[in-house]
Amino acid sequence: MADSRRKKPNAILYNKDTQKWLYPNGFYTVVRRFSSKEEKRRIVASVVDPAVFGEAEKLGLENHLNVFHCDKKPLSETLARGLSVFLNSTAVDDNFRRFSGHTQVNATDLKRIKYPNREALIELGKWAIKQEELTQDMIDKQMEKIAE
What global pTM score does this model have?
Answer: 0.86
6 in a structural domain: no
3 in a structural domain: no
- Tell me how many domains the chain contains: 1
Give, for 23, the enclosing helix (H) or strand (E): strand 22-24
Beta bridge partners of 60: 22
What range does the domain containing 66 cover? 21-147
1 in a structural domain: no
2 in a structural domain: no
- Integer Cα distance of 134 and 83 in angstroms: 14
10 in a structural domain: no
pLDDT per residue as tens, the chain (148 positions): 455 566 766 677 778 887 888 899 999 999 988 766 666 788 999 999 999 988 888 888 888 899 999 999 999 999 999 999 999 999 999 888 887 767 788 888 899 899 999 999 999 999 999 999 999 999 999 998 887 6
15 in a structural domain: no
13 in a structural domain: no
Contact 35, 103 (CB under 8 A): yes
